[in-house]
Amino acid sequence: MIDLARQLTDDNTPAELGQLVLKLASVSADISAKVRLGALAGVLGSAGEQNVQGETQKKLDVIANDMLKEALLSLPQVRALASEEEDNVVAANHGGAYIVAFDPLDGSSNIDINGQIGTIFTVYPARDEVACDSAEQFAQPGRQQVCAGYMLYGPSTQMALTTGGPSRLFTLVPEQGAYQLTQNELNIAPECQEFAINMANQRHWSPATQAYIADLQAGSTGARGKDFNMRWNGAMVGDVHRVLMRGGIFLYPANTQSKTHNGKLRLLYEANPMALLVENAGGKAVVGAQAILDVAPESLHQRVPVILGSGAEVEYFQAQQ
């Protein structure tokens, strides 16, 4: 068995970055323990506050955010933090070489129904030319990420991680609070027969996206000549994990007729880390014509359309636009 620390060393991860990843892993083991106990740990239900995006915060959103924040602020290599649950950038340590952004708890609507939830994180190099607490620290395209990953709190707790090389999968041993390597290299097959989208938003999509999904539904009787199945978790971590494990296409497209016209998912701490994991597993991740990783950020909590997964299927989607 190869544990996370050993794999980071074998991958020649810079020591400070490796310690940062190990810290995130250790906090996630603590979050996982609370998730596992659920109501018995008093972590279910609403916190009664709203975040900057006007979403009602669940207790676990706040608990996970506070745990990650406290742990990362203690690391000298971390210069600044950004989180879905923080309105602004949080300054950390002036000399730090890295900045970290995270979605502390993804899939909040699944918390109270004992469904799949997760944590998403990304690490960038700190920028010397701007202040520690400036949103400009995070105004870097996703290609600049030095590390990205997620933890999935499912029947087992798993972490998908890339430090620039292959996307790898680790599984938590709760008794040890440590992750072991369980899949050395994730590879997404280019072709697929499964899609993930919230069909309730159908009327809000562009005509081209509506036609693409209609073709998938028509299956072997339509233009595609093969049947597709559909799955939707309501948690990006769970839906993208399925795509990484067995191929497929995940879409949270632009909602052309609603106020969330750029879709729902946030570029910095949802779209970009998932895009890096998917690309490093051989898949594709796009907003439309452009790769997610090439989008120039405009604001900290910016939303973008997300289409990712099996390479040939994502290219087919792009050709239909």
Return residues touching ligand AHG (CB under 6 A).
Answer: 55, 84, 103, 106-108, 198, 234-236, 252, 264
CB of 70 to ligand AHG, least distance (A): 20
Short-list 260, 205, 263, 201, CA closest to 232: 201
Position 239 contacts Mn ion (CB under 5 A): no
Given Mn ion, ligand AHG, none, residue 148, with its beta carbon under 5 to 8 Å by kind, binds none
Given ligand AHG, Mn ion, none, residue 198, with its beta carbon under 5 to 8 Å by kind, binds ligand AHG
Nearer CB in complex with Mn ion: 293/306: 306
How many amino acids of this chain bind Mn ion (CB under 5 A)? 4
Question: Which two three-digit tokens encode residue 220?
Answer: 């072997």
Please provide the DSSP assignment of 56-101 as one string.
EEEHHHHHHHHHHHHHHHT-TTEEEEEETT-SSPEE--TT-SEEEE
Given Mn ion, ligand AHG, none, residue 194, with its beta carbon under 5 to 8 Å by kind, binds none
Short-list 18, 23, 123, 29, CA closest to 74: 23
CB of 205 to ligand AHG, least distance (A): 12
Residue from 84, 239, 279, 313 touching Mn ion (CB under 5 A): that is 84
Q: Which stretch binds Mn ion (CB under 5 A): 71-79, 81-89, 129-137, 172-180?
A: 81-89
Rounded Cα distance between 283 and 152, Å, is 20
Cα within 13 Å of Cα(224), Cβ side? 22
CB of 24 to ligand AHG, least distance (A): 17
CB of 309 to ligand AHG, least distance (A): 13
- The residue to which tokens 């520690």 are assigned: 132
CB of 236 to ligand AHG, least distance (A): 4
SS3 label, residue 125: strand
- Residue 181 carries which side chain, given as an amino acid letter? L
Question: Which two three-digit tokens encode residue 166?
Answer: 């292959």
Size of the chain, expressed as the number of residues it contains: 321
Given ligand AHG, Mn ion, none, residue 96, with its beta carbon under 5 to 8 Å by kind, binds none
Nearer CB in complex with Mn ion: 58/127: 58
CB of 247 to ligand AHG, least distance (A): 18
CB of 44 to Mn ion, least distance (A): 15
Q: Which stretch binds Mn ion (CB under 5 A): 83-91, 155-163, 225-233, 301-309?
A: 83-91
Q: Report 95-154 residues binding Mn ion (CB under 5 A).
A: 103, 105-106
Check if the beta carbon of residue 133 is closer than 8 Å to that of residue 120.
no
Q: CB-based contacts of 128: which residues, under 8 Å, 6+ apart?
A: none
Nearer CB in complex with ligand AHG: 62/75: 62
Strands 98-106 and 249-252, sheet pairing: unpaired
- The residue to which tokens 């405009």 are assigned: 298
SS3 label, residue 182: strand
Question: Which two three-digit tokens encode residue 195?
Answer: 């899609």
Q: Name the packing angle between helices 59-73 and 15-37 (round to 10°).
A: 150
Given ligand AHG, Mn ion, none, residue 264, with its beta carbon under 5 to 8 Å by kind, binds ligand AHG
Find the largest Cα–Cα distance for the chain: 61
Q: Report 167-226 residues binding Mn ion (CB under 5 A).
A: none
Give me the residues that bind Mn ion (CB under 5 A), please: 84, 103, 105-106
